[in-house]
Amino acid sequence: QHGAVSEQVAGEMALGALNCCAAQLAVSITGIAGPGGSDFKPEGRVCFGVAHQTKLLNVETQEFGSIGRDAVRQAARDHALRELTDMKTKQVTAMKDKMGELKAAKSTVDAEIGKLTERLVSTPEDTGVQSKLNDVKQQSKLIEGELTTIISEIQTVESRDI
């Protein structure tokens, strides 16, 4: 249905690479490096696919023009590497945004712990306050765990070479 030089095939190639390898990230390249081509698929047309884990993230077509076989191949390689670098940057940014949200939630929960602790000191017989305090402390521990995990994930992603 689709020719070898198509976004559909590039996407399937990237997903196929993930299915057969222990990788979490794959980029695929298919195109007409030259010499040759046609009016429908000119020389220099290259399709890319990018997949992460089990999800196709991006497919696109770039027209590099009739710059010669070696130049098309180099341009395609460079474009694919930029895609991977951009993806890594976006992934780290998203994780840091999530970390910021978790820190804000932790601050809110910690403030609630402080208020409940004060209430408990003034009304130690109030079992409802103690129960609520225990629940909020549990929330705080869960958030701390999530923060520890995301910090570790950020360090792992940042240390990966592209």
Give the tens place of pLDDT for each residue, 59-111. 999 999 999 999 999 999 999 999 988 888 988 999 999 999 999 999 999 99
Residue 6: predicted pLDDT: 96
Average pLDDT over residues 129-153: 96
Residue whose C-alpha is closest to residue 13's, from 59, 44, 45? 59
Residue 124: predicted pLDDT: 86
Residue 22: predicted pLDDT: 84
For 80-89, which contacts have Cβ atoms below 8 Å and span 24 or more sequence positions?
80/27, 80/29, 80/48, 81/162, 83/27, 83/48, 83/50, 83/58, 84/25, 84/27, 84/50, 84/162, 85/162, 87/25, 87/50, 87/52, 87/57, 88/157, 88/160, 88/162
Residue 125: predicted pLDDT: 87
Q: CA neighbours within 13 Å on the CB side: how many for 140?
A: 14
For 101-106, which contacts have Cβ atoms below 8 Å and span 24 or more sequence positions?
102/143, 102/146, 102/147, 102/150, 103/147, 105/143, 106/140, 106/143, 106/144, 106/147
Residue 157: predicted pLDDT: 85
Average pLDDT over residues 6-17: 96
Q: What is the mean pLDDT of the chain?
A: 93
Where residue 162 falls among pLDDT bands split at 50, 70, 90?
Answer: low
Residue whose C-alpha is closest to residue 47's, from 67, 62, 64? 62
Please, what's the b/e burial string for 42-58 (b: 16 or more CB within 10 A of its CB; e: otherwise)? ebbbbbbbbbbeeebbb
Q: Report the distance separating Cα 58 and Cα 84, nearest Å.
A: 11
Would you state the structure tokens that stand for residue 31, as one six-digit string?
């195109």
Residue whose C-alpha is closest to residue 107's, from 143, 151, 81, 64? 143
